[in-house]
């Protein structure tokens, strides 16, 4: 193995004997175009709604839900497709997200959410990943279309104006804080469900709660015994 690597290294180091510098440069340039173009084409191909919904996991669950929402059909006919919200548009961030998405390929191969039940069970965790991502980048994918500078609040309803003035323009909250579940159905939003899937053990929380109550009852009993 080491000998093979050494031989490869000497070949790479040695100046070319048969090909001219021009041919090598031009060849390298052309191959560069072909590979770079191919890479970007494949990248863009995997960045389409048709690609996302080619898996039944997306087609039957989240895409079916999207179809009933305003991001799929509305009065002006502008429409957001999957990558518009779920993949950053900036190239570097896009590549980073694509690398993360290799986990999704793993999930596809091993059928992590290949049935409706499995999907529903996993849905909160998956949703929390997206909420965390949007929270961290200040709802960048929302703002790619919905700019707060271009937002004419005189055209909004009174309570929307009030909320946007209080929370959006001051930067106190970001879009996803209030607008969860606008494009897909929400998972179980009960605080207990949130706790258990946050990585915190639901059993531990319950135990803490019980000991807290027990402590209070003890104190109450103590108070009673005093008088």
Site residues, another protein (CB under 8 A): 68-70, 157-159, 162-163, 167, 178, 181-182, 185-189
Helix axis angle for 91-100 and 102-109, nearest 10°, is 30
* Residue among 3 and 158 whose Cβ is closer to another protein: 158
* Residue among 160 and 220 whose Cβ is closer to another protein: 160
* Residue among 76 and 92 whose Cβ is closer to another protein: 76
Closest approach, Cβ 157 to another protein, in A, equals 5
DSSP letter for 114, please. Answer: -
Measure Cα distances from 166 to 159, 210, 226 in Å.
Answer: 11, 39, 51
CA distance linking residue 114 with residue 125, whole number of Å: 16
Closest approach, Cβ 188 to another protein, in A, equals 5
Closest approach, Cβ 142 to another protein, in A, equals 16
* Residue among 70 and 213 whose Cβ is closer to another protein: 70
DSSP per-residue codes, 45-73 = HTTSHHHHTTSHHIIIIIHHHHTTSTTTS
- Contact (CB, 8 A) for 76 and 131: no
């Amino acid at each position: 193995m080491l000998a093979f690597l050494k031989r490869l290294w000497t070949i790479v180091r040695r100046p070319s004997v048969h090909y001219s510098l021009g041919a090598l440069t031009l060849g390298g340039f052309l191959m560069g175009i072909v590979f770079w173009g191919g890479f970007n084409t494949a990248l863009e191909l995997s960045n389409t709604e048709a690609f996302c919904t080619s898996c039944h996991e997306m087609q039957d669950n989240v895409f079916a839900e999207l179809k009933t929402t305003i991001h799929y059909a509305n009065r002006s006919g502008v429409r957001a497709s999957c990558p518009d919200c779920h993949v950053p548009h900036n190239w570097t961030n896009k590549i980073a997200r694509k690398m993360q998405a290799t986990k999704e390929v793993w999930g596809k191969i091993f059928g992590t959410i290949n049935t409706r039940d499995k999907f529903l069970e996993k849905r909160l965790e998956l949703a929390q990943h997206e909420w965390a991502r949007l929270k961290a980048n200040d709802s960048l994918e929302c703002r790619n279309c919905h700019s707060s500078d271009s937002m004419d609040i005189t055209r909004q309803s009174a309570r929307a104006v009030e909320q946007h003035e209080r929370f959006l323009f001051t930067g106190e909250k970001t879009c996803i804080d209030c607008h969860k579940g606008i494009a897909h159905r929400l998972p179980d939003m009960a605080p207990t469900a949130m706790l258990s899937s946050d990585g915190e053990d639901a059993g531990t929380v319950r135990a803490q709660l019980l000991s807290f109550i027990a402590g209070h009852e003890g104190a109450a009993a103590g108070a009673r015994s005093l008088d």
